[in-house]
């Protein structure tokens, strides 16, 4: 856990601060926040994405996108996955940051992103069939999605990504599907 916190402090916080401070350093008009959004929803990974023998994992996913320039923004993404409430099965937490490109037509938003950060997989018991697991590593996510408008400030997101980390098994299905509610501001 100490390695996870150290990696988070040295990588995730400076990258996040850069994306929040970058618009102030750029010459030109201030970014308009009406193209920014907050997302929260369900997420599912492919088999053995983070740890061998785990199958597809269910979880939640949240993201914050800040619009900085035409079509370009910064995104922070956090998610947690597991196989249930049993302490013996591994759970994975991801914290990722990076750029996002968004194109909108008729209020429908298509986006693509590339995110980098830390991923931590662990279980709290060594008596289970998976044995004791605790691993933190760098990870990435490349993908995109579509935001379908529901109401003036709300949309529904459907997204797909390739997600992997330094401790992902080579034969794993490194895919993630997410769907949920978007609040635009």
In this structure, the dihedral spanned by the alpha carbons of residues 46, 48, 53 and 54, taken in order and rounded to 10 degrees, is -50
Residue ranges per domain, the chain?
Answer: 2-22+46-184
CB atoms within 10 A of CB 60: 15
| Residues 124, 112 contacting (CB under 8 angstroms) | no
Whole-number pLDDT of residue 77 = 97
| Residues 44, 177 contacting (CB under 8 angstroms) | yes
Cα 106 to the center of its chain, rounded Å:
26
Buried b (16+ CB within 10 A) or exposed e, 35-44: bbbebebebb
Cβ neighbors of 153 (< 8 A, separation 6 or more) are 183, 184, 185
Predicted TM-score (pTM) of this structure: 0.75
Q: What residues does 138 pair with on adjacent strands?
A: 118
Picking from 61, 77, 103, 72, the residue whose alpha carbon sits closest to that of residue 15 is 77
Condensed to tens digits (0 to 9), the pLDDT of residues 102-150 reads: 999 888 999 999 999 999 888 766 555 556 667 788 999 999 999 999 9
Condensed to tens digits (0 to 9), the pLDDT of residues 151-182 reads: 989 999 999 999 988 877 777 788 999 999 99
pLDDT band (50, 70, 90) for residue 32:
very low
Architecture of domain 2-22+46-184: Beta Barrel (2.40)
φ/ψ (deg, to 5) at 176:
-140, 135
Report the share of the chain in percent with pLDDT over 90.
49
């Amino acid at each position: 856990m100490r390695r996870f916190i150290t990696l988070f402090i040295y990588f995730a916080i400076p990258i996040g601060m850069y994306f929040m401070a970058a618009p102030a350093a750029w010459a030109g008009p201030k970014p308009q926040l009406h193209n920014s959004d907050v997302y929260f929803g369900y997420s599912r990974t492919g088999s053995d994405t983070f740890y061998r023998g785990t199958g597809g994992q269910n979880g939640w996913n949240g993201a914050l996108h800040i619009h900085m320039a035409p079509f370009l923004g910064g995104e922070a993404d956090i998610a947690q996955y597991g196989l249930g409430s049993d302490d013996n099965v591994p759970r994975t937490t991801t914290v990722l940051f990076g750029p996002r490109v968004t194109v909108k037509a008729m209020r429908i938003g298509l986006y693509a992103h590339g995110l980098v950060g830390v991923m931590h997989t662990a279980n709290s018991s060594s008596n289970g069939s998976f044995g004791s697991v605790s691993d933190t590593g760098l990870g990435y996510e490349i993908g995109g999605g579509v935001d379908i408008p529901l109401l003036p400030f709300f949309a529904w997101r459907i997204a797909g990504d390739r997600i992997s980390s330094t401790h992902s098994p080579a034969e794993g299905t490194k895919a993630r599907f997410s769907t949920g509610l978007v609040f635009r501001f």
